[in-house]
């Protein structure tokens, strides 16, 4: 049976969500920002804004220079998650194998649910129609269909906005006279290394002897070659394979300072957000990574193995605080990061050395209250006044549980 993979990518997602919610924004250049300050980053721009050169990664001041009439909005993660939940609910009606790749992308394995590309295209058309009818008429999606994840995503990447493109494995070479960076997984640095071997297009990579790639790139070289030659290596991943190996939170400080009281308050907020994500996974962590960067370069990063797995915000914070206070600050701090790894299933058994069950139950109860009534309904006193710092945000890579609805996901260190 021929494998049939569908990849759906929502176009200018956060911006079109805002246009869907507010009809007065439709047809106008819109930029969604992490923060509205001058150096805030554009995380999504509408199709109209992109025509002026406003792209993801632009700073607010750059966006205004490129498009003076642009309408800038601060992101509302809860709104986007709600819309995503409705979209993924539709996707799950067509197959039991859905892999959320990010908040606005997903792979569907239609093998067995459709017998050929024609039937798969019919499903894609139905998905598009249902999204517009049941979720929002302004939402647009590019859909790619092929026999591998790579080719399906490549098809959606190069497809016109709000359209469907089918790439058959045997005819993929017709689409490969493109720059290497047009392909999923090839960045500028990798492109330079491939160029040094005389590989400048995807067709060059497809024809290049794989035996010559292995000594230079190892396993990565084989993956690159296999992708453009239509060889599936991973398939659509199930929920077990998607479970993260680490959780964390990072924050660029609006106030650059050496004030330890201020920095510790922010650090506690980061530990709380990281702890909430850890507890949603029903996991404990054996390792903590803490780091910060200075305004003028340099900083400190350290990974520490814990004597006892951490679960509660208090213990995460105490471990991070100890690492932080062990350093004498040399400059103003501009960036803080906390990450937990070595994740293991939650142990509901009391420790021989300290009674941790009561704290676990308290943490879970506080999470339930904040989930129901909103962040900062119940919080540690040390966090007072930090409501506007390190607010909720959406990352470009998320782990999303389809069958249980869209959850907050995992925000990785360095995102």
CATH 1.10.357.10 fits 176-232, yes or no: no
Task: Give the pLDDT score at 252.
Answer: 81
Residue 381: the pLDDT is 62
Q: How far apart are CA 326 and CA 320, in angstroms?
A: 10
> What is the fold, at CATH topology level, of the domain defined by 245-383?
Dna Ligase; domain 1 (3.30.1490)
Least confident piece of the model among 62-76, 137-151, 218-232, 351-365: 351-365
* Set 18, 99, 105, 272: catalytic member: 105
Helix (H) or strand (E) holding 240: helix 239-242
Calculate mean pLDDT across residues 214-223: 93
Return the pLDDT at 353.
45
**pLDDT (tens digit, 9 = 90+) per residue, 68-121?**
999 999 988 889 989 999 999 999 999 989 998 888 999 999 999 999 999 999
At 403, the pLDDT band (50, 70, 90 cuts) reads very low
Cβ atoms within 10 Å, residue 393: 15
Residue 278 has pLDDT above 80, yes or no: yes
- 76 by Cβ neighbours in 10 Å (0-12 / 13-18 / 19+) ranks as middle
pTM of the model: 0.72
CB within 8 Å of 19: residues ≥ 6 apart: 25, 26, 28, 30, 46, 138
Confidence of residue 401 (pLDDT cuts 50, 70, 90): very low
pLDDT digits (tens, 9 = 90+) for 30-43: 999 977 888 788 98
Domain ranges of the chain: 1-169, 176-232, 245-383
Tell me if the domain spanning 1-169 has CATH number 1.10.287.610.
no
Among this protein's residues, is 170 annotated catalytic? no
């Amino acid at each position: 049976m021929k494998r049939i993979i569908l990849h759906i990518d929502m176009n200018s997602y956060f911006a079109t969500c805002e246009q869907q919610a507010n009809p007065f924004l439709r047809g106008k250049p819109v930029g969604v920002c992490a923060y509205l300050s001058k150096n805030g980053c554009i995380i999504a721009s509408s199709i109209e804004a992109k025509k002026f050169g406003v792209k993801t990664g632009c700073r607010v001041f750059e966006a205004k220079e490129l498009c003076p009439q642009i309408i800038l909005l601060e992101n509302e993660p809860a709104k986007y998650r709600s819309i995503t939940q409705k979209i993924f609910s539709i996707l799950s009606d067509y197959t039991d194998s859905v892999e959320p790749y990010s908040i606005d992308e997903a792979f569907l394995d239609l093998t067995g649910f459709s017998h050929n590309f024609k039937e798969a295209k019919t499903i894609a058309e139905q998905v598009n129609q249902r999204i517009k009818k049941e979720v929002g008429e302004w939402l647009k999606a590019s859909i790619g269909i092929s026999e591998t994840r790579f080719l399906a995503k490549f098809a959606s990447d190069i497809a016109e906005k709000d359209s469907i493109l089918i790439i058959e494995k045997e005819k993929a070479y017709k689409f490969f006279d493109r720059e290497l960076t047009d392909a999923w997984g090839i960045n500028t640095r990798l492109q330079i290394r491939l160029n040094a071997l005389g590989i400048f297009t995807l067709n060059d990579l497809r024809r290049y002897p794989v035996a010559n790639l292995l000594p230079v790139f190892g396993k990565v070289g084989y993956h690159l070659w296999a992708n453009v030659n239509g060889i599936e290596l991973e398939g659509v991943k199930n929920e077990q394979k998607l479970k993260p190996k680490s959780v964390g939170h990072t924050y660029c400080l609006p106030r650059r300072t050496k004030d330890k009281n201020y920095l510790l308050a922010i650090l506690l907020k980061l530990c709380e957000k990281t702890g909430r994500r850890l507890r949603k996974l029903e996991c404990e962590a054996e390792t903590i990574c803490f780091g910060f960067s200075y305004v003028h370069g340099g900083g400190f990063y350290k990974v520490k193995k814990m004597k006892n797995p951490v679960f509660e915000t208090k213990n995460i914070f105490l471990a991070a605080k100890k690492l932080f206070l062990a350093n004498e600050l040399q400059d103003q701090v501009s960036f803080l990061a906390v990450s937990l790894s070595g994740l293991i299933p939650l142990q509901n058994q009391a420790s021989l050395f300290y009674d941790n069950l009561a704290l676990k139950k308290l943490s879970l109860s506080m999470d339930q209250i904040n989930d129901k009534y909103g962040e900062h309904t119940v919080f540690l006193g040390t966090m007072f006044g930090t409501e506007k710092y390190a607010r909720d945000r959406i990352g470009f890579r998320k782990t999303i549980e389809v069958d249980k609805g869209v959850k907050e996901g995992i925000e990785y260190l360095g995102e």
